[in-house]
A and B are shown apart, each in its own frame.
Chain A
Amino acid sequence: MLPHSTFMSSNRTSKLIGLFLLGLILLNFPIINLFSKEDFLFGIPSLYIYLFLVWLLLIIFIAMIVRRKDNKKQP
């Protein structure tokens, strides 16, 4: 049986690799082409909104994954 800590950290590895792959797909063609139109959302170009939104979500997810381990560490 794996020690608990190894299991936790390998689980975290998978999550972060998953996030990397997800970002790679979301911020690349063909997905960005879906938003690359002359559409406006709240008066702002849709591609602009899409890119920054995905960006923000990635930041939030990284912070969440990293932080969860920080909490665990403290007794």
Chain B
Amino acid sequence: MSTSIILFSSIAYLLFLFFIAFYADKKTREGNSLVNSPYIYALSLAVYCTAWTYYGSVGKAASSGSLGFLTIYIGPILIAPLWIYLLRKIILISKHQRITSIADFISSRYGKSARMGVVVTLIAVIGVIPYIALQLKAIDASSSILSNEADWMSEILDGSLFFKDKAFLLALILTIFTILFGTRHLDPNERHEGLIAAIAFESLWKLVAFLAVGLFVTYGIYDGFSDLFSQATKQPELANRFSMEAAGVDNWSWTWMVLLSMSAIMLLPRQFHVMVVENTNVQHVEKAAWLFPLYLLLINIFVLPIACGGLLHFPEGQVEPDSFVLGLPLQYGQNLLALFVYLGGLSAATGMVVVAVIALSIMISNNLVLPVLVQSSFIQEPTTSHLGRRLLNIRRISIVIVMLIAYTYFKWVGGAFSLISIGLISFAAIAQFLPPVIGGLYWRGATEKGALAGLLVGISVWGLTLGLPTMAEVGLLSNSSIEEGYFGISLLRPYALFGLEGSDHIAHSAFWSLLLNSITYVAVSLNTLPKPIELSQADLFIEIEKYTTGEAEVEVIKRRARLDDLKLLLDRFLGKRGRKRVLKNFARRRQINLKATKTVDAEFINFTETHLAGAIGAASAKVVLDSVVKEDPISLEEMLIIMDQTKEIIQYSKALEKKSLQLEATTHQLQTANEQLKELDRLKADFITTVTHELRTPITSIKALSKIMFDHPNIDLEKREQYLNIIIDESERVARLINQVLDLEKIQSQRTQFPLQPLDLTALVKRVGVGMEEVFRQKNIAFSMDLPAIEISVKGNNDRLTQVVLNLLSNALKFCDSQKGKIKVVLEKEDTDFVVLQVQDNGAGIKQENQKIIFEKFTQLSSQKAGKPTGSGLGLFICKEIIERHGGSIRVSSGPKTGTTFIVKLPLHS
């Protein structure tokens, strides 16, 4: 393909990105943001996938033949479930403090320390520059592969000395591109919605392009995955490459790569920028937590197939493994696909470079340049023009410088390394932020000195074990240092520090640097005291939820300032219009009249500070404010008082919580008790109604008959006798009813004290049966008893059990057949534990639906004999109560033909 086509399509593509950015910015100004969507957010996170992913993964997979390249993506997907807490917390803190970079974040946590900002920025620059250089290398290499014919354009390029170097041209275009994207205006929140829209588009493009080439290789050249792999295994040098051991990925380095990529996804300056600074809504994190891993899955699924395809086609190494993605389509004459894929690679590289350089330039200007400038005359000069324009210029210069360094690195060192090893060197440098960030989010005792010392130790070890040795590869350091150790000390061999050998360089360096970093961080933190501002920042970072939900800010440092001074500051950094808008906002939100105020309190100063921090970084903002703010440093006594108060409040609230829990439990118990009482009350009322009703019926008839006899003294004797009989019967019924009610009361009141003694049940049943025999004989009823010859001992109450048997027998008497009545009592041991007493009659039986209710109070079934109920309805209920109090049970078995059998089961006395 000709160079001119490549150049023109590249430029056309970049212009199209500008159009997208411009359009998105316009939409934002109109008030309907394109970027405010979890999908755009997730796509913007995919700036993680750079040219390294695009070309390097295949290269790595092809050169070592394994899935080792996947570690870079496994880290991010493993940490993704934690985003909803970790990332959310970081975003909330950053929004609250208007943090605009990872350097700002760390410096803000450790007391808005300016020197911390400097250190973090330098580490980030050192760590990320090789990574930017890597992108230059990737685009440079890919365009070389694509252009295989000389044309007028390449002649012009070759002819002019300035443009002889394609990478330089590229660096130049990217610099302009970045400046245009990132420094068009100064946003107090460092948000670039247009940029994010363009990045999201690029992410989409690179995904589609990579999937296209993957599908082409897997299904176009070969016949699906299995065909591809089976062809690959036929080659002896490919056959054994699908396991980890064969590929030289040991367990140790696998674990460390995963850890490094886990920290990179959150801490790389560009990731922090798109994830935290450009985040439009915290809620987007939830969807991104699974959308982003899905993106990574899709972009990685074809890496191994492409690598295998490439190795099968170019076994002699005609094409570098890093370029298989382009080489395969070109081999089959698919020029359009190759161009499409090339633009995907361009997307990956430009996206990374633009965001990374913008993030770095923010850090450089806010954390390196401004803290110096604000202390010099720069800030003091009585100028009315605001500093926004100067800030933007500082940014632009930083961008140019970063690109220049990256280009230089590429020229000197870049050629000697593959894409993936340069990337991993960066990851190891950035991972040094892990201890201060995680510690800062959860450990109150962490101090600025500890974090600073840890970072310095960590980055030094990184430099010794990875940074310097790369210099040796290009001849800037003698090779003897690598082999024999620095200064000839064998313990200081860079790839086997302290004699630790046998793992790959990255894992080795990551292990030592992170270990020593963490140890120093913890040890120094434990032995130094935090300053008051560190304490208040620590509280804010650790308990951010408290600060975002309520205004729970505890004022640790008392600060006062004149309003006019603050106004002047805001004028300089935000412009007059910006200042007026900010102040109006504040006055409206707090309901105060700023015109009448002269000196302002800490709340207003904090407000000003966060706004300034958005523009110039936390550390610089603090320095600027310190020049006009009077600080009453808090005394130890005051501090102790605050701590005591806090402790008291905590204890008090804990006690309160306990009390309220107890109260709740008591309320619940009372409610249940009340409900039971109500139920009992209702039952009692029912009971009384029924009892009085039962009493009224016989009394009415007694009264009526007595009155007849009283009014008619000469009533004949036969009639009188009949009436008197009825009166006696009814009186007996009343007496029986009263007795049973009394019994019931007695049983129910004797809930616990119910004297139980061992007794012989056989004798008891026999006694009752014999007593009743006479009655049965009178009524012509065949009565039989089937009792065992032996004594059956149960633990029970003699009177009560007698009452049960008597009740059951009179019941049987009442209901048995009127002509040929038959009653049988059977007593037998059921097993070793229970004895069963059955009382059978041959009456009409009890209907199924009635069998359940007969044991309830006042249930009466009309007998055929009497036509109306003759009992009180309490007999069976009393029986049931007594039996259950003995630990036994009573049930009824009845059918229309078989008569009724009551079955009583009692536990034996052992």
**Given the complex of chains A and B, what is the CA–CA distance between A72 and B233 in angstroms?**
51
Is B290 in contact with A16, judged by CB distance below 8 angstroms?
A: no
How many Å from the CB of B81 to the closest CB on chain A? 4
Across the interface, A38 reaches (CB within 8 A) one of B81, B84, B239, namely B239
A45 touches B229 (CB 8 A): yes
Chain A, residues 37-67, CB within 8 Å of chain B (1/0): the string is 1101011110110011001101110110110
Question: Would you call B242 and A38 a contact (CB within 8 A)?
Answer: yes
Residue among B67, B84, B230, B293 making CB contact with A43, cutoff 8 Å: B230
- Expressed in whole angstroms, the Cα–Cα distance for A50 and B508 within the complex equals 27
Contact indicator B239/A66 (Cβ below 8 Å):
no
Q: How far is the CB of A55 from chain B (nearest CB, A)?
A: 5
The verdict on A33 contacting B226 (CB below 8 Å), with A17-B81, A28-B254 known, is: no
Q: Please, which residues of chain B bring their CB within 8 A of the CB of A17?
A: 81-82
Candidates B82, B294, B297; contact of A16 at CB < 8 Å: B82
Q: Which of B71-79, B159-167, B581-589, B880-888 contacts A (4 or more CB under 8 A)?
A: B71-79
> Closest Cβ of chain A: how far from B551's Cβ, in Å?
21
Do A59 and B225 touch (CB < 8 A)? no
The smallest beta-carbon distance between A68 and chain B, in angstroms, is 11
CB distance from B676 to the nearest CB of A (A): 23
Interface residue B651 (Cβ < 8 Å from any Cβ of A): no
For the complex, what is the distance from the CA of A62 to the CA of B244, rounded to whole Å? Answer: 28
Alpha-carbon separation in the docked complex, A51 to B286 (Å): 24
- A55 with B255: CB separation less than 8 A: no
A51 x B67 contact (CB < 8 A) = yes
Least Cβ–Cβ distance between A25 and chain B, in angstroms: 10
Q: How far, in whole Å, are A61 and B225 apart by their CA atoms in the complex? A: 27
Residues of B within 8 A of A (CB): 67, 70, 74, 77-82, 84-85, 225-227, 229-230, 233, 239-240, 242-245, 251, 254-255, 258, 286-287, 289-290, 293-294, 297, 301, 304, 661, 664
A residues near B (Cβ < 8 Å) are 1, 12-13, 16-17, 19-20, 23-24, 27-30, 32-33, 36-38, 40, 42-45, 47-48, 51-52, 55-56, 58-60, 62-63, 65-66, 69-70
Interface SS, B side: helix
Query: Is A48 within 8 A of B304, CB to CB?
Result: yes
B240 CB contacts on chain A under 8 angstroms? 38
Residue contact A47 to B81, C-beta cutoff 8 Å: no
Contact assessment for B243 and A37 in the assembled complex, using a CB-CB cutoff below 8 Å: yes
Residues of B within 8 Å of A48, CB to CB, are: 67, 242, 304
**Top-5 shortest CB links A-B:** A43-B226, A45-B242, A29-B251, A63-B290, A62-B290
Are B79 and A20 in contact (CB-based, < 8 A)? yes
* B258 and A28 form a contact (CB under 8 A): yes
Instruction: Find chain B residues with CB under 8 A from A13 CB.
Output: 85
Chain A's closest residue to B70 (CB) is: A51
B294 and A59 within 8 A (CB): yes
List of B residues within 8 angstroms of A52 by Cβ: 297, 301
Question: Taking the nearest CB of chain B, how far is it from the CB of A28, in angstroms?
Answer: 6
CA distance A62 to B81 in the complex (A): 6
CA distance A37 to B67 in the complex (A): 12
**A46 CB, min distance to chain B CBs, angstroms:** 8
CA gap between A58 and B73 in the complex, in Å: 13
Contact A27 B67 (CB under 8 A): no
Chain A residue, CB-CB nearest to B287: A66
**Chain B contacts for A56, CB-based, 8 A:** 297
User: What are 30 pairs between A and B in contact, CB < 8 Å?
Assistant: A12-B84, A16-B84, A16-B85, A20-B81, A20-B82, A23-B78, A27-B258, A28-B258, A32-B254, A33-B244, A33-B251, A36-B244, A37-B243, A38-B243, A43-B230, A44-B229, A45-B242, A47-B242, A48-B242, A48-B304, A51-B67, A51-B70, A55-B77, A55-B297, A58-B80, A62-B80, A62-B289, A62-B290, A66-B287, A70-B286
Chain A residue numbers with a CB within 8 Å of B254 are: 28-29, 32
CB-based contact A1/B661 at 8 Å = yes
Decide: B81 and A19 in contact? CB cutoff 8 A: yes
Closest chain B residue to A69, Cβ basis: B286
A42 and B297 contact, CB distance less than 8 A: no
Residues of B within 8 A of A60 (CB): 290
A52 to B294, CA, bound (A): 11
Q: Which residue from chain A places its CB closest to the CB of B294 in the assembled complex?
A: A59
A36-B242 Cα distance, complex, nearest whole Å: 7
B242: chain A residues within 8 A (beta carbon): 38, 45, 47-48
Whether the pair B239, A16 counts as a contact (CB closer than 8 A) is no
Contact yes or no, A36 B225, CB < 8 A: no
Given contacts A17-B82, A36-B243, A51-B70, contact A44 B77 (CB under 8 A): no
CB of B86 to closest CB in A, whole Å: 10
Whether the pair A58, B229 counts as a contact (CB closer than 8 A) is: no
14 more contacts with CB within 8 A, not counting A47-B243, A62-B290, are: A13-B85, A16-B81, A23-B81, A27-B258, A44-B229, A45-B304, A48-B67, A48-B304, A51-B70, A52-B301, A55-B293, A55-B297, A59-B297, A66-B289
Interfacial chain A residues near B79, Cβ < 8 Å: 20
With a CB–CB cut-off of 8 A, which chain A residues contact B304? 45, 48
Chain B CB within 10 A, most for which of A33, A42, A58, A69:
A58
Instruction: Among B82, B233, B286, point to the contact of A66 (Cβ < 8 A).
Output: B286
The residue from A16, A28, A51, A66 contacting B255, defined by CB atoms under 8 A apart: A28
Contact (Cβ within 8 A) B243 A59: no
Q: Shortest Cβ distance from A7 into chain B, in angstroms? A: 15
CB distance from A54 to the nearest CB of B (A): 9
Closest to B250 in A: A29
Contact residues in B for A23 (Cβ distance below 8 Å): 77-78, 81
B227: chain A residues at CB < 8 Å are: 43
How far, in angstroms, from A58 to B301 measured CA to CA in the complex?
16
Known: A45-B229, A48-B242, A62-B80. A29 touches B255 (CB 8 A): yes
Instruction: Select which of A20, A40, A55, A63 is within 8 A of B229 by beta carbon.
Output: A40
B258-A47 in contact (CB<8A):
no
